[in-house]
Structure 1
Amino acid sequence: MEKLGGKVSGSVSKKTDYLLMGEDATGTSKHQSAVNNGVTILLEEDFNGLLSQ
């Protein structure tokens, strides 16, 4: 991801564009923070689809 210009962060804020998460991460604090801040949540297959475009 970083090779393509992305930045990995340990937290989610209003400045976050996407949260990449596994299916079992629903309900975690990062997931809830993304929902509260209107951040787009991507599962691995969604992310891979973006990379292939």
Structure 2
Amino acid sequence: VTLGEQGVRSGLKAAHARLSGLLAHEHASLVLAQRCSGVQAPTPLFSAL
């Protein structure tokens, strides 16, 4: 998060707005992740937890 020359209040508001914008990408199903990854089945996406 870059605040630059902003004050605390405006910096926090800007950071909140940016982070809130990421909420739409917070969760993706495994099926969607597999489809978007380009990894061919049955190769696993993950090898460790």
Q: TM-score range by the shorter chain?
A: under 0.3
Higher helix share: 2
Larger RCO, structures 1/2 (Cα 8 Å, 6+ apart): 1
Task: Give the structure-1-normalised TM-score.
Answer: 0.26
Instruction: Give the greater-gyration-radius structure (CA).
Output: 2
Higher strand share: 1
